[in-house]
Amino acid sequence: MKDDKVLEQALLARVARDDRLMLADAVLLAALDGSRPLAPAERRALQASPLTLRRFRHLALQRRAAALQCRPPAANDAWWDGSAGMLRAAASAAALDELVTDDGHWTLHFVPDEDAGWQLIVQLDAQAPFAGRLLRERTLLRVVDGGGAILLQGRLDADGECERPWPFELAPMAHFQLYGATFAIEPCQ
């Protein structure tokens, strides 16, 4: 029998009249990351206020979720396990010439070629924290659409770019709209 849920409720479901947030987020976050332990009065305030404890719970879980997303914490500059992006609604009418990932590190360029097709160029921002490692290791990458189809696969050149013909009959804009309007760039394992 795991008792955490019942202990959690015992703490959070206490009667506390006129309860309010007793401590600022900065105080709770500094206590969470160990940079500044709570002063005795702050500790008592936290222990006695279910609402402040609930805020603490929220921040603690948020912090753990964030830590999970940017693992491993030791190599904070080099880690990358993919970037995703989506088609912007504002671009609906115009022809598609470029897309940027949500993290801003990657740009897809769409350049019309002579045969009424397109060239697809994936470009890594040289300022991206993981740029050095990716260029050094010449990691094999691919660009996939929302349906999981591979649009491009290859290694970055010294300029941080990789160019391939667009693999479909359908124009890039129409294709993305058909497959969830999302895309991702990921390392091949």
Partner 1 sequence: MRLPGTRYQEHGWEHVRKLLGRCSLAVFARQAMDALLDPARRLVALDDYLDAMALQLRAPRHHAQAAMPGNSYGDTAGELACALLFELRAQPSCWDGLCAAVSAEHARHGAFWQGEAGHAMLRKKANDMYAVLRDKADADACQVATGRPCTPNRMYTYRMLDTAYGEIARLFANWRHCAAQVADILGAEPGLVSGGMPAAARQMHTIADCRAEWIIRWSATLERHTGAPGPLHTRSKRFASLKNQPEAIAAMLREIGEYEALSANMGALGQVRGDEDEAALWLEDYWRVVAESEAAHGVDHGAGDGADHGGEAAEAPVPDMLDALLAPSGGGLTHDGGDDGEDRDDDAEREFAAAGMAFDDGAGDEVSLSPGFVNQAEQVAAGQVTAILAGVSLPVRLAVYHALLGARDDSYPDAWLDPATGELPSLRQLAVLDGISMPTLRKRRNEAMALLSQAAARGADGKGQR
Nearer to partner 1 by Cβ, of 64 and 138: the residue is: 64
Q: Is 136 in the site for partner 1 (CB under 8 A)?
A: no
43 near partner 1, judged by CB under 8 A: yes
Q: Closer to partner 1 by CB, 30 or 121: give it.
A: 30
Say if residues 144 and 183 touch (Cβ distance below 8 Å): yes
Read out DSSP for 25-44? Answer: HHHHHHHHTTSSPPPHHHHH
Burial (0-12, 13-18, 19+ Cβ within 10 Å), 151? buried
Q: Which among 15-23, 91-99, 109-117, 163-171 is the span making contact with partner 1, rule CB under 8 A?
A: 15-23
21 binds partner 1 (CB under 8 A): yes
Using alpha carbons, select from 174, 167, 181 the residue that is nearest to residue 119: 167
Q: 3-class secondary structure for 50-68?
A: HHHHHHHHHHHHHHHHHHH
**Exactly one of 45, 54, 79, 153 binds partner 1 (CB under 8 A); which one?**
54
Contact, 53 vs 12, CB < 8 A? yes
Compute φ and ψ for 75, nearest 5 degrees.
-95, 65
Pick 8 or 77: Cβ nearer partner 1: 8
Using CB under 8 A as the binding rule, whether residue 53 contacts partner 1 is answered as: yes
Q: Select 30 or 135, whichever has its Cβ closest to partner 1.
A: 30
Distance CA 115, CA 70 (A): 43
Q: Does 66 bind partner 1 (CB under 8 A)?
A: no
Given the rule CB under 8 A, which of 29-37, 92-100, 138-146, 178-186 is the region that contacts partner 1? 29-37
Question: Which positions lie near partner 1, rule CB under 8 A?
Answer: 1-11, 13-17, 19-21, 25, 31-32, 34, 37-40, 42-43, 46-48, 50-51, 53-61, 63-64
